[in-house]
Amino acid sequence: MIRNCSIIVVGAGAAGMAATAKLLSKGFTNVTVLEASSRIGGRINSTLFGPYTTDLGAQWVHGEKDNIVFEMASAADEVAGSEFNVIEMLCANSSGQVIDMELSKQLYTVFYRIHEEYADEKNLQGSFGNYFIPKRILQHHYLF
């Protein structure tokens, strides 16, 4: 295998950085990453929200086994395993006001139920958000 070729990776998001790490781990050395924005991370971006750090964009890393993105994030102590405590999860509305914890738990329950339904539908096209909002959230609005 030729390892002295020039390689360009477009984008310094999770996929671009994972591809770069894999190339370097396989002995390729002439790798250049091109990124259009002023920071790495792509859609993944953490910012302060009052006294808390909140994630904008990507929220979960799906797949912990044989997933270089999960391995990289874990090594940087940026992600925990798949188990988390809903009680520790805060929700806020679009104005930034923290929502009552009981309502947050109800929202999570609805989200989880919808997520499970989505996982069972193999032939859907588009994003989870495209599925979640128009087709399912309206079915559960009566709870709130």
- Residues in Cβ contact with 40 at an 8 Å cutoff, skipping those fewer than 6 apart: 12, 13, 17
Let me know whether 51 and 96 are in one domain.
no
| Per-residue pLDDT in tens (0 to 9) along the chain, 144 residues | 676 789 999 999 888 998 999 999 999 999 999 999 898 888 777 777 777 777 777 666 767 777 777 787 777 776 766 665 656 667 777 777 888 888 888 878 877 777 777 666 656 666 666 666 665 556 655 555
Let me know whether 103 and 66 are in one domain.
no
Let me know whether 89 and 134 are in one domain.
yes
pLDDT for 19 equals 93
pLDDT for 68 equals 75
Length of the chain in terms of residues written: 144
- Whether residue 54 lies inside any domain: the answer is yes
pLDDT for 10 equals 96
pLDDT for 83 equals 64
Return mean pLDDT, the chain.
76
Whether residue 3 contacts residue 28, with contact meaning beta carbons closer than 8 Å, is answered with yes
- Whether residue 57 lies inside any domain: the answer is yes
pLDDT for 131 equals 63
- Whether residue 144 lies inside any domain: the answer is no
For residue 10, the enclosing domain spans 1-44
Q: Are strands 52-56 and 45-49 parallel, antiparallel or unpaired?
A: antiparallel
pLDDT for 36 equals 92
Q: Are strands 7-10 and 31-34 parallel, antiparallel or unpaired?
A: parallel
pTM assigned to the model = 0.47
Rounded to the nearest 10°, the torsion over CA 37, 43, 44, 45 is 60
- Among 38, 36, 46, 42, smallest CA distance to 18 is for 42
pLDDT for 81 equals 63
